[in-house]
Amino acid sequence: MSETAPAAASDARSPKSVKDEKKRGLFARIALFWRQVVAELKKVVRPTRSDLITYTTVVLVFVAVVMAFVTVVDLGIGKLTFWVFGG
């Protein structure tokens, strides 16, 4: 276990690249940001039609199950409240 290995690994950027970042102007940084955004968006994998249908079906079924569960719990708590307080 060497003490210098983690320090060297954490300092992955050279001093020159840090200096170059400080020299960049506002518009250059904005342009760099948008280039990086476009590059990341090009990496996005869009789902196919069958994937979308599957995902939509799963979500709708899950929402229906949760709605049914909440309805049953709500009715149960309502009945319990009327039983306890004699409504």
Question: How many degrees, rounded to 5, is the angle at CA 44 between CA 11 and CA 17?
Answer: 25
Q: What is the pLDDT of residues 8-44, one digit of tens each?
A: 555 566 666 656 656 789 999 999 999 999 999 999 9
What's the mean pLDDT in 39-60? 97
Question: How many degrees, rounded to 5, is the angle at CA 44 between CA 40 and CA 48?
Answer: 170
What is the residue extent of each domain of the chain?
1-44, 48-87
- The answer to whether residue 56 scores a pLDDT higher than 80 is yes
Helix/strand/coil for 16: helix
Helix/strand/coil for 45: coil
- The answer to whether residue 57 scores a pLDDT higher than 70 is yes
Candidates 66, 67, 64, 45; CA nearest to 56 is: 64
- Gyration radius (Cα) of the chain, Å: 28
In angstroms, the CA 87 to CA 80 distance is: 10
